[in-house]
Amino acid sequence: MKYRLFGKSGLRVSEPCLGTMTFGTEWGCCGADKGESQRNFDTKHKKPNTSNHN
């Protein structure tokens, strides 16, 4: 798993975590609901189609 530094804080955060920071509506001001979050996650993590059917 790849990690990235979170600004100048020195905190290391996994790439999947960075991609899901706006999932959820609990904060009230912003964020994607459960359905939108699932679609975003599925799109990012689906396996590429390596078959070559023309």
Going residue by residue through the chain, which has 54 residues, state the pLDDT in tens, using 9 for 90 and above. Answer: 888 888 889 999 887 777 677 788 887 778 888 898 888 888 877 766 666 655
Rounded to whole angstroms, the Cα distance separating 40 from 34 reads 10
What pLDDT does residue 14 have?
84
What pLDDT does residue 29 have?
74
| For the chain, domain boundaries | 22-46
What pLDDT does residue 51 have?
62
Provide the H-helix boundaries in the chain: 15-19, 34-45
What pLDDT does residue 53 have?
57
What pLDDT does residue 50 have?
63
